[in-house]
Amino acid sequence: MALLRLLLSLERESASMWELSFVVPPNHESLDFKFLLKPKYSNSPCIVEEGPNRLFLGGMLQGDTRMALFRLGPDEVLEYRVFIKADRVSPFDLAASWRAYQDNLRPSAARGIPDVSINSLSETGPENSSSASLELDLEHYVVPAPSSNSGHVYAANLTETPRSLTGFGVHSNADKVGNTSSSKESSILGDQPATVKDMTIIVPDPSKMYMGSGMVESKSVGTFSHLPKQDSHRGLFVDRGVGSPRLVKSPSTSAFFADLKLDTESKNSMPAAAGAVAAAAIADQMLGPKEDRHLAIVLVGLPARGKTFTAAKLTRYLRWLGHETKHFNVGKYRRLKHGTNQSADFFRADNPEGMEARNEVAALAMEDMISWMQEGGQVGIFDATNSTRKRRNMLMKLAEGKCRIIFLETLCNDQRIIERNIRLKIQQSPDYADEPDFEAGYRDFKARLDNYEKVYEPVEEGSYIKMIDMVSGHGGQIQVNNISGYLPGRIVFFLVNTHLTPRPILLTRHGESMDNVRGRIGGDTELSEAGKVYSKKLANFVEKRLKSERAASIWTSTLQRTILTASPIGGFPKIQWRALDEIYAGVCDGMTYEEIKKNMPEEYEARKKDKLRYRYPRGESYLDVIQRLEPVIIELERQRAPVVVISHQAVLRALYAYFADRPLKEIPHIEVPLHTIIEIQMGVTGVQEKRYKLMD
């Protein structure tokens, strides 16, 4: 066994204690090591620890954790107590997929910096200037958040406004609030389908196409395409974005063009997303049944099982990917037509009037959803208990030949979670807004729940996804039946990785760089003096905010301005993601916008006209960035501990848009200022936001 001596500079925490933390993969090699005492402010040689070597094997330190003894001279011995903390980390804790795992465990090719590293605890030496110190109270730095998700909002209030019931009066003040929220959302997102440009198919000339064996693998979607060669050996080029006039007109492309004439319904249902998403949508439309062009996710489950929360998260995810998606909540229809003062008797199976009323509003919601799909919508989330086969058969009959139905059943056997959800329901639901007595509302809801439990029939028909005890994030299982296609597969993958464990996610740009000072885009420059000050303030902030969160991690891009911003932060693992790199400006990298306007006026105007879809020559578009960020989103959803993401403006705009449920068209215009921390709090009550501005 090779001897490995850790040449780490151990920073003193107190007069008699050091702490060493390191992260290892499950299959790590055995570590045989000793501690070295390294003088901090001199070039004196290191002093080797007395005694036998320490052995770290299988994620555990072997033997007793003994004191560390250092002999300075014949009669002088230093004795220190040592705490060793070792965290076993699975590959998925280091990256979102095995590809990212392999990439990120190699040293960075650009600067030789390892992708996973542990710093010593924050220094308190002379280099920490007073200009980088923070107030003890972090609330001192809070600034107003621009989005409306900074408070607790009942998720059902944010669902689609019932169109078929617009003639009915609103029955309670609480419901007025819900309708106002939904109307506002509709005005932002727009009820009309997004306009999608005509797509051109490029078919290579078989006689001239290079037929070599070279293949390249797409890092984002795991597909293969012919390796592009030089002009003398042209290959099949796969455009990963939506619309690219420069590539279509390229004289070096040996191809002929054929317009794909889709009917209006097909064009409207095509997602405004890049790469695999658009390709899969076209395949489904050209090869699949007509009803497969529209997908209805029909929730099934008893009350207080997290259906509405799951539906809201899934809606947000699909919208962010570029799919036209809306969330239809049957409870909102019921409250609008029948009021919010319905007692538990209204929900009895042996109450024919109540059953008829509930089936009626369910049918109205389904008809609204199908009408919206026929106008261009792609995915409808139908949120209700749908607890009997009779109800589900009614919905399948209404959807026959119009959309494909997949049932999503949420089952929970943890009484603690059910009890928590019941209490949140009573506190937030408009059904109990006019009930001043919490206990009376609690008893009524329990009686309503009993009525549903008496007649509940688990899903066994059709295509379905069952989530069993998944909400806690600790185990559980997911069952699928008759699920096929790109989009249903992505939905299953997303649901596998979601849970309700509360944890903060901190988003921040790197400190000001030299290119920021010069007004140049892209690049890989170092930090300015202001950026260096911010890096120290950020370290101070993270230490205060996450002082009790030892399982937290720091994520950066592979560009040095984010790595340098994170460098003063100690005590947490740091993971570099290439997916977090800034949007690549291609030939415009390193230029100012004034230079682009002067030297490339056509590109400047094209970007100004459509920043979302515009792709820099030989560079990326915002839609490309969204595509490569999907593994990051999945991993952020999967994490149970806090994460600090230090990245770049375009990337953080896209990440923030996911959590804030902002439309794709707004992403290029979202404000993400320098030296500001956006805290996203994820948990059972949804997503809340808080902002801290550490520097002007």
> Given a cut of 60, is residue 149 above it in pLDDT?
no
Catalytic residue among 185, 383, 409, 581: 383
Q: Please provide the size of the chain in residues.
A: 696
Paired tokens of 133 = 């110190």
Report the helix count and the strand count for the chain, using DSSP H and E: 20, 27
Block residue for tokens 């809070």: 142
Rg (C-alpha) for the chain, rounded Å, is 28
pLDDT per residue as tens digits for the range 554-606 = 999 999 999 999 999 988 999 999 999 999 999 999 999 999 999 999 999 99
What local confidence, expressed as pLDDT, does residue 287 receive? Answer: 47
- pLDDT above 70 for 4: no
- The Cα–Cα gap between 52 and 32 comes to 10
Give me the mean pLDDT over the 478-487 stretch. Answer: 91
State the sign of the Cα–Cα–Cα–Cα dihedral 656, 662, 667, 670: negative
The CATH number of domain 290-497, selected from 3.30.365.10, 3.30.230.70, 3.40.50.300, 3.30.1740.10? 3.40.50.300
DSSP E strands, 374-502: 379-383, 404-411, 463-468, 477-481
Which pairing describes strands 116-118 and 573-576: parallel, antiparallel, or unpaired? antiparallel
pLDDT band of residue 52 (cuts 50, 70, 90) is confident
Torsion angles phi and psi, residue 70, rounded to 5: -125, 120
Catalytic residue among 284, 582, 603, 679: 582
pLDDT band at 547 (very low <50, low <70, confident <90, very high): confident
Give the model's pLDDT for residue 21: 53
SS3 assignment, position 605: helix
User: 């230079």: which residue's tokens?
Assistant: 595
Residue 184 in tokens: 């506002």
Domain ranges of the chain: 1-98, 290-497, 504-693
Q: Band of the pLDDT at 229, cuts 50, 70, 90?
A: very low
Mean of per-residue pLDDT scores for the chain: 74
- Other Cβ atoms closer than 10 A to 579: 26
Q: What is the pLDDT of residue 201?
A: 32
Question: Which residues, other chains included, contact 661 with Cβ-Cβ below 8 Å and sequence gap of 6+?
Answer: 149, 315, 316, 319, 320, 687
* CA pair distance 556, 645, nearest whole angstrom: 6
- The pLDDT of 293-299, averaged and rounded, is 93
- Which of 121-135, 167-181, 447-461 is predicted most confidently? 447-461
Query: CA 316 to CA 45: how far, in whole Å?
Result: 57
Q: 507 and 656 in contact (C-beta within 8 Å)?
A: yes
Determine the Cα–Cα distance for residues 162 and 301; give it in Å rounded to an integer. 22
Helix (H) or strand (E) segment spanning residue 256: strand 255-259
What's the CA angle centered on 599, arms 597 and 601, to 5 degrees?
Answer: 45
CA distance 106 to 605: 40
d(C-alpha 383, C-alpha 314), whole Å: 12
Q: How confident is the model at residue 631 (pLDDT cuts 50, 70, 90)?
A: very high
Confidence class for position 296, pLDDT limits 50, 70, 90: very high
pLDDT at 98: 37
Concerning whether 661 is annotated as a catalytic residue, the answer is no
Q: What is the pLDDT of residue 47?
A: 82
Q: Looking at 222-226, 525-529, 563-567, which range is the least confident one? A: 222-226
What distance in Å separates the CA atoms of residue 498 and residue 673, rounded to the nearest whole number? 29
Q: Of 412, 499, 620, 675, which one is the catalytic site residue? A: 412
Contact 417, 499 (CB under 8 A): no
Q: Give the lowest-confidence range in 99-108, 633-642, 670-679.
A: 99-108
Q: What is the pTM of this model?
A: 0.66
From 147, 112, 191, select the one nearest 576 (Cα to Cα). Answer: 112
What is the CB neighbour count within 10 angstroms for residue 179? 18
SS3 content of the chain, % helix, strand, coil (to 5): 40, 20, 45
The span from the CA of 321 to the CA of 419, in Å, is: 34
Q: Is 412 a catalytic residue?
A: yes
Determine which one of 327, 510, 648, 675 is catalytic.
Answer: 510
C-alpha span between 193 and 372 (Å, rounded): 9
> What is the pLDDT averaged over residues 314-319?
94
State the pairing for strand pair 295-300/404-411: parallel
pLDDT reading at 118 higher than 70? no
What is the distance between the alpha carbons of residues 544 and 309, in angstroms, rounded to a whole number?
31
What is the spatial distance between Cα 449 and Cα 463, in angstroms, rounded to a whole number?
Answer: 26
The H-or-E segment that residue 625 falls in is helix 622-638
Q: Write out the H or E segment, with its range, that includes residue 22.
A: strand 17-24
Structurally, at CATH architecture level, domain 504-693 sits in 3-Layer(aba) Sandwich (3.40)
List pLDDT tens digits, range 322-346.
Answer: 999 999 999 999 998 888 888 999 9
Which DSSP state fits 157?
G
Is 383 one of the catalytic residues? yes
By the 8 A CB rule, do 380 and 295 touch? yes
Q: Which residue has the higher pLDDT, 73 or 268?
A: 73
Confidence of residue 135 (pLDDT cuts 50, 70, 90): low
